[in-house]
Chains A and B, each alone.
Chain A
Amino acid sequence: MRHHLILRVITKLLIGSIMLFALYVQFHGDYSPGGGFQAGVIMAVAFIIYGVVFSLDEAQRVLPPWVVHKMAALGVLIYAATGVYSLFVGYGFLDYTALSPDYPEKGQHYGILLVELGVGVTVTGVMVTIYYAFTSRTPIMDDEAW
């Protein structure tokens, strides 16, 4: 893999900004286009690019598969826990007023942020999981066949 020098340097430069952009999309989703789904996909793309340009082993050293699997489950849990929390406090399931009863609007903000975080974490986890699953199989043809 030594011959793709430019590709490797540019990728290293890009990954940081891709991740930053993903976080911006994630937490700025209430103000501008974006949200958990897009942020999750973009975050996953950062890892996938790293895996494509370097190697699967390198990517899995940064983000081991078991972490990714836990992430996928954790996101759904964050989402559901938000709903269950509001149930326990005495409101309806996923009624975000529960998060800040005195200021319902703030509660909505917190709720949306939490829920979008859950979505983002799940989507990242699942996309990276799928990528790992596909690439960890040994391909039947070598690079020259392309």
Chain B
Amino acid sequence: MLVATALAVVRTQSLFATAMLSGVFSLLSALLLVVLDAVDVAFTEAAVGAGISTVLMLGTLALTRRFESAPSHSPAIPLFVVLVTGATLIYGTLDMPNFGSATAPAQVHVAPEYLERSVHEIGVPNIVTAILASYRGFDTLGETAVVFTAGIGVLLLLSGLRRRRRNKREDV
């Protein structure tokens, strides 16, 4: 279903439908994330992808336009590039451990240590929160700063410049 939604995004020309389909895509992927035991992530994906990003897409469409024009050049070259990249990536997965294997390198390095230590060191039932805020507090501080910076960027692009220009005009 995810693939079907993605292909529908490729096919449709209406940007409104594209925005809606991307919301559907987010909800479907949130479902898949729940199946993969990542409840926190699914939560975020559902709230962010289906909620905020759809509203933002629609806001952009209201400021721009609703339909895309027909493609002007043939899709052969992009298709070729995409197929080659995909084949390379699939070749790369051949060495990966089986899905759900408990002895995969990703499972045996730091994760068990976090799982063991957070019980008596932090005492917070939700391990994701414990790692997020405590063991990886630096990361999260950085991510918060990135979100903050993006907010400043949007402000500068959409409202700051206009105000400054208006001031300039008044000065003149």
Find chain B residues with CB under 8 A from A115 CB: 133, 137, 140
Partner of A118, one of B48, B59, B144: B144
Contact status A44-B147, CB under 8 Å: no
B62 interfacial contact with A, CB 8 Å: yes
Q: Given that A37-B44, A94-B138, A145-B66 are known contacts, is A130 also in contact with B148, CB under 8 Å in the complex?
A: no
Find chain B residues with CB under 8 A from A72 CB: 148, 151-152
Q: Is the interface of B mostly helix, strand, loop or mixed?
A: helix
Partner of A80, one of B65, B125, B141: B141
Interface size on A, residues (CB 8 A): 56
Find chain B residues with CB under 8 A from A146 CB: 16, 66
Contact status A45-B47, CB under 8 Å: yes
A141 interfacial contact with B, CB 8 Å: yes
Count A-B contacts at CB 8 Å.
Answer: 148
Interfacial residues of chain A within 92-146, with CB under 8 A of chain B in the complex = 93-94, 96, 104-105, 108-109, 111-112, 115-116, 118-119, 122-123, 125-127, 129-131, 133-137, 139-141, 145-146
Chain-A contact segment, one of B50-58, B81-89, B90-98, B101-109? B50-58
For residue A71, give the distance in angstroms from its CB to the closest CB of chain B.
Answer: 10
Most buried by B among A25, A72, A93, A136: A72
Contact status A119-B134, CB under 8 Å: no
Contact status A96-B134, CB under 8 Å: yes
A44 to B120, CA, bound (A): 35
Q: Given that A133-B158, A134-B59 are known contacts, is A108 also in contact with B122, CB under 8 Å in the complex?
A: yes
A41 to B56, CA, bound (A): 13
Chain B interface: which size bin? Answer: 35 or more
Contact status B44-A79, CB under 8 Å: no
A32 to B126, CA, bound (A): 6
For residue A29, give the distance in angstroms from its CB to the closest CB of chain B.
Answer: 5
Contact status B151-A129, CB under 8 Å: yes
Contact status A112-B47, CB under 8 Å: no
Partner of A111, one of B40, B125, B133: B133
Contact status A134-B63, CB under 8 Å: yes
B27 interfacial contact with A, CB 8 Å: no
Find chain B residues with CB under 8 A from A19 CB: none
Find chain B residues with CB under 8 A from A45 CB: 47, 51-52
Per-residue 0/1 for B104-144: is the Cβ within 8 Å of any A Cβ (1 yes, 0 no)? 00000000000000001111111011101110011011001
A90 interfacial contact with B, CB 8 Å: no
A residues adjacent to B (C-beta < 8 A): 25, 29-38, 41-42, 44-45, 48, 52, 69, 72-73, 75-76, 79-80, 83, 93-94, 96, 104-105, 108-109, 111-112, 115-116, 118-119, 122-123, 125-127, 129-131, 133-137, 139-141, 145-146
